[in-house]
Amino acid sequence: MNLHHQGVGLFKSIDDIDMQVQGSATIAAKPLPSALPETIFSGKNFAEWREYLSDLDWVPDLGVDIGSPTWFRGLVTLTALCGFAISCLPDFGPIAGHRADPLSGFRADQARSQMIAPLAYGSDTGIRMAATDAVRPLAESPERPSIELVATLGRGDSLRRVLQRAGVASDEAAQANDLISGAVSLGDIKPGTKIDVVLGRRPAKNQARPLDQLAFRARFDLNLEILREDSGLKLNRKPILVDDTPLRIKGTVGSSLYRSARAAGAPADAVQKYLQVIGSKMSVSRDIRSTDEFDIILSYRRAETGEVEVGDLIYAGLERDGKAQAQMLKWQSGGRTNWFEASGVGQSNGELARPTNGRITSNYGMRRHPILRYKRMHSGMDFGGGYGAPIYAVTDGKVVHAGRKGGFGNYVRLQHSGGLASGYGHMSRIAVSNGRRVRKGQIIGYIGSTGLSTGPHLHYELYRGGRTINPTSVKFVERAQLGGRELRNFKGELQKLQRVEPGAALTTLKNASAQAEPEREINRLNKPLKS
């Protein structure tokens, strides 16, 4: 009996196994093949054996006569049957199923004509066929009646060139340019502005498409539109309602002023500027308590179309128990922007005015002169910084000397108020002329090594009453004081800002809210159709 006719690795049905078990159990009952050699099983012996085996009880009751030879034989039978049954248990590996061979050649082409290939693979489907008589070539390809495109104004770009690049003929581009420049200064149009252009049908193939329509946002508060009418191009101005209520942000300082202000919605650079301004009045780390209230006002513009422009910090305030600790307002006075206190006193900073950005290489006092080799008084301060680095006026003043002066080389002397004067030596080049007034921070020359000098550096001196003094001993304290009419204007502006409610700039604009509700499609069903 072929017990493994289904091969290894395949399940066997329970019936199969049962049959096999029965098979082996009845082996003895089956007549042995007659082809066996007669020498072992002679006729008489064979009959005796057969009788003997058929008399044997192969499956005795294993519950009785435990330990007897019959019992052991029964045990052997049981073990053999169990072993056989276990050896027929299937394993749990996967069953290999039927797999079709991949298509190739003509069959693959046939199958491909049924499918949709991805674009990434070239959308290559079907069988290529030559054009038949049914295909007729076009004399010329049809053109779109109009082209809508968006042109973008680049940095340093001109409107006229943008239009020409978009395909507008040069005379029409110039015409549109003139119309627009009549309505708005072309320099006010921000780079990156998107211009919607519609080009119409061209009369002939060798001509440019005519400009049919052009629309863009020329300014924050102005939309411009050019339309083609019978008489030619016509410009329409469409003003946008803009509200410039400043954005006021108030809140409690808490554990961190920066974080609280940021959480209240103030932009990061505005908070930094606020800390800088408040820091000029008091120490941010020591004098501000967590229960104090900060008050930040930024210039702010919003259009009815939803865009906002967040400007610079214009007011920085700090309140403690309802009383103002600091009220600083940005104010333009005498052509210069400065921060003023509510009383009209300008911001003061008592720092050493540095005439250049380089480091101090030698201080005021007695020292051995590097060239003359004897001890003498160093009557100023030396600054490094490299050849050609700019030199700034330490404070406002008037040029009283600009030119060569002995060992100083190229030398500039400025006369300041309060009997003070400053001198700058060894310059490579002088940038001011005698008699001119200079402002604090204005470039008056460049570092060099003219005169008695071992290398490029700035020799800086400060004089009081004509005699040199230690420059570090004088702190230029700038205190601008507003007065008269300017002070009244300043206080008016301050009061106006303080009347602004926090969050007033975030309410909806009137016009924007009026048209906010769009008409729903379903509501049109009940209306009579336009004929």
For Zn ion, the closer of residues 292 and 461 by Cβ is 461
Minimum distance from residue 361 beta carbon to Zn ion (Å): 9
For Zn ion, the closer of residues 217 and 459 by Cβ is 459
Q: How far apart are CA 451 and CA 449, in angstroms?
A: 7
For Zn ion, the closer of residues 302 and 459 by Cβ is 459
For Zn ion, the closer of residues 304 and 382 by Cβ is 382
User: DSSP code of 33?
Assistant: P
Q: Which of 462, 380, 364 is nearest to 415 (CA)?
A: 462
Which residues 6+ apart lie within 8 Å of 228 measured at CB? Answer: 200, 210, 211, 212, 213, 234
Minimum distance from residue 426 beta carbon to Zn ion (Å): 8
- Binding segment for Zn ion (CB under 5 A), chosen from 7-15, 157-165, 197-205, 379-387, is 379-387
For Zn ion, the closer of residues 215 and 352 by Cβ is 352
Q: Which of 420, 411, 414, 490 is nearest to 458 (CA)?
A: 411
Minimum distance from residue 373 beta carbon to Zn ion (Å): 15
For Zn ion, the closer of residues 292 and 382 by Cβ is 382
Number of residues in contact with Zn ion, rule: CB under 5 A? 2
For Zn ion, the closer of residues 341 and 382 by Cβ is 382
By the rule CB under 5 A, 382 interacts with Zn ion: yes
Report which secondary-structure segment, H or E, holds 510: helix 510-514
- Within residues 404-423, the interface with Zn ion by CB under 5 A covers none
Report which secondary-structure segment, H or E, holds 523: none
Q: Which of 323, 305, 243, 166 is nearest to 506 (CA)?
A: 243
Minimum distance from residue 353 beta carbon to Zn ion (Å): 17
- Binding segment for Zn ion (CB under 5 A), chosen from 117-125, 282-290, 377-385, 506-514, is 377-385
By the rule CB under 5 A, 426 interacts with Zn ion: no
Site string for Zn ion, 428-467 (x = CB under 5 A): -------------------------------x--------
Site string for Zn ion, 302-341 (x = CB under 5 A): ----------------------------------------
Report which secondary-structure segment, H or E, holds 493: helix 484-499
One-letter amino acid at 191 equals P
**Are the C-beta atoms of residues 458 and 382 closer than 8 Å to each other?**
yes
Minimum distance from residue 412 beta carbon to Zn ion (Å): 15
Q: Where are the alpha helices (DSSP H) in 42-200?
A: 43-55, 69-87, 105-112, 159-166, 170-183
For Zn ion, the closer of residues 243 and 382 by Cβ is 382
Q: How far apart are CA 13 and CA 6, in angstroms?
A: 11
- Binding segment for Zn ion (CB under 5 A), chosen from 95-103, 292-300, 375-383, 444-452, is 375-383
Minimum distance from residue 456 beta carbon to Zn ion (Å): 12
Q: Where are the alpha helices (DSSP H) in 209-353?
A: 257-263, 268-279
Minimum distance from residue 431 beta carbon to Zn ion (Å): 20
- Binding segment for Zn ion (CB under 5 A), chosen from 31-39, 53-61, 135-143, 382-390, is 382-390
**Are the C-beta atoms of residues 251 and 293 closer than 8 Å to each other?**
yes
Minimum distance from residue 459 beta carbon to Zn ion (Å): 3
- Binding segment for Zn ion (CB under 5 A), chosen from 40-48, 202-210, 378-386, 480-488, is 378-386
The residue assigned the tokens 């001109």 is 158
Q: How far apart are CA 241 and CA 321, in angstroms?
A: 39
In sequence order, what DSSP letters do the residues of 100-134 get, joined into one string?
PPPP-HHHHHHHHTTS---GGGTT--S------TT
Minimum distance from residue 340 beta carbon to Zn ion (Å): 38
Taking phi first (over 0 means left), then psi (-120 to 50 degrees means alpha), and beta for anything else, what does residue 424 get? Answer: beta
- Within residues 69-128, the interface with Zn ion by CB under 5 A covers none
Minimum distance from residue 425 beta carbon to Zn ion (Å): 7
One-letter amino acid at 251 equals G
Sequence length of the chain is 531
Q: In the bound complex, which residue of the shown chain has the CB atom lying closest to Zn ion?
A: 459
Rounded to a whole number of angstroms, the distance between the first and last alpha carbons of the chain is: 95
Q: How far apart are CA 455 and CA 450, in angstroms?
A: 9
For Zn ion, the closer of residues 219 and 459 by Cβ is 459
Minimum distance from residue 244 beta carbon to Zn ion (Å): 53
For Zn ion, the closer of residues 413 and 459 by Cβ is 459
Angle at the Cα of 228 from the Cα atoms of 223 and 229, rounded to 5 degrees: 115
For Zn ion, the closer of residues 58 and 383 by Cβ is 383
**Interface residue list for Zn ion (CB under 5 A):** 382, 459
